[in-house]
Amino acid sequence: MRPLAYNHGMELRHIVAFVAVAEELHFGRAAARLHMAQPPLSQRIRQLESELHVQLFERTTRAVLLTEAGEAMLDPARKVLEDLEIAIGAARSGGRGELGRIVLGFSGASSHQHLPRLTAAIRRQHPGLRLVFAKRDYANDALGGVVDGELDLAFVRLPLNRDGVAHRIIEEEEILVALPAHHRLAEQERITLSDLAEEPFITFPGTVSSAVRDALVHACVESGFGPQITQEAPDTYTILALVAAGAGVTLVPSSVTHVTSPGLVYRPLAGPRRVLHTALAWRANNHSAALEKVLRIAEGVLPTPEIPTTM
Instruction: Kindly tell me if the per-residue pLDDT of 146 is higher than 60.
Output: yes
Q: Is residue 40 part of a domain?
A: yes
Q: Are residues 244 and 212 in the same domain?
A: yes
Across the range 92-106, mean pLDDT stands at 68
| Average pLDDT value for residue range 36-50 | 89
39 and 178 assigned to the same domain: no
pLDDT band at 310 (very low <50, low <70, confident <90, very high): very low
Statement: residue 2 has pLDDT above 50? no
Domain count within the chain: 3
Judge whether 129 lies within some domain.
yes
Q: Which residue has the higher pLDDT, 311 or 123?
A: 123
pLDDT at 6 over 50: no
pLDDT value at 1 more than 50: no
Domain boundary among 95, 130, 160: 95
- pLDDT on residue 125: 86
Provide the H-helix boundaries in the chain. Answer: 12-24, 27-33, 38-52, 68-95, 114-125, 139-148, 211-222, 236-244, 289-301
Torsion angle in degrees (nearest 10) through CA of 185, 188, 193, 197: -20
159 and 291 part of one domain:
yes
Residues 178 and 252 in one domain: yes
pLDDT in tens, 45-64: 889 888 889 999 988 777 88
Q: Does residue 184 share a domain with residue 47?
A: no
* Same domain, yes or no: 60 and 199: no
Verify that 163 and 223 share a domain, yes or no.
no
Task: Identify whether residues 297 and 153 lie together within a single domain.
Answer: yes
- 311 pLDDT above the threshold of 60: no
3-class DSSP assignment, residue 179: strand
Indicate whether 281 and 162 sit together in one domain. yes
Residue 267, helix vs strand vs coil: strand
User: By C-alpha distance, which of 25, 28, 26 is closest to 74?
Assistant: 25
One domain for residues 271 and 176: yes
Give per-residue pLDDT as tens, 148-175. 999 999 999 998 888 999 999 999 999 9
Q: What is the pLDDT of residue 106?
A: 87
Q: Give the pLDDT confidence of 184-227 residue by residue, as tens digits.
A: 999 999 999 999 999 999 999 988 878 899 999 999 999 999 99
Is-contact 172 307, C-beta < 8 A?
yes
Q: Is the dihedral of CA 188, 194, 195, 200 positive or negative?
A: positive
Segment 239-267 shows an average pLDDT of 94
pLDDT bin (cut points 50, 70, 90) of residue 100 is confident
Output the domain CATH number for residue 144: 3.40.190.10
For residue 311, being part of any structural domain is answered with: no
**Mean pLDDT of the residues in the chain:** 86
- Residue 230 falls inside a structural domain: yes
Final residue belonging to a domain, choices 41, 66, 95: 95
Residue 307 lies in a domain: no
Domain range for 57: 12-95
The CATH number of the domain holding residue 82 is 1.10.10.10
Residues 195 and 51 in one domain: no
Whose CA is closest to 245, among 202, 195, 194?
202
Give the pLDDT confidence score for residue 99 in this predicted structure. 53
What is the arithmetic mean of pLDDT over 6-23?
77
Model-level pTM? 0.65
Domain stop point among 72, 95, 118 = 95
Whether residue 257 lies inside any domain: the answer is yes
7 located within any domain: no
Residue 196 domain-assigned? yes
Query: What pLDDT, on the 0 to 100 scale, is given for residue 162?
Result: 87
Q: Are residues 177 and 270 in the same domain?
A: yes
Least confident of 75-89, 135-149, 191-205: 75-89
Alpha carbon distance 283, 211 (integer Å): 20
Choice between 97 and 33, residue whose per-residue pLDDT is larger: 33
| CA angle (31 as vertex; 25, 36 as ends), nearest 5 | 165
Q: What is the pLDDT of residue 4?
A: 44
**Of 89-93, 164-168, 178-182, minimum mean pLDDT range:** 89-93
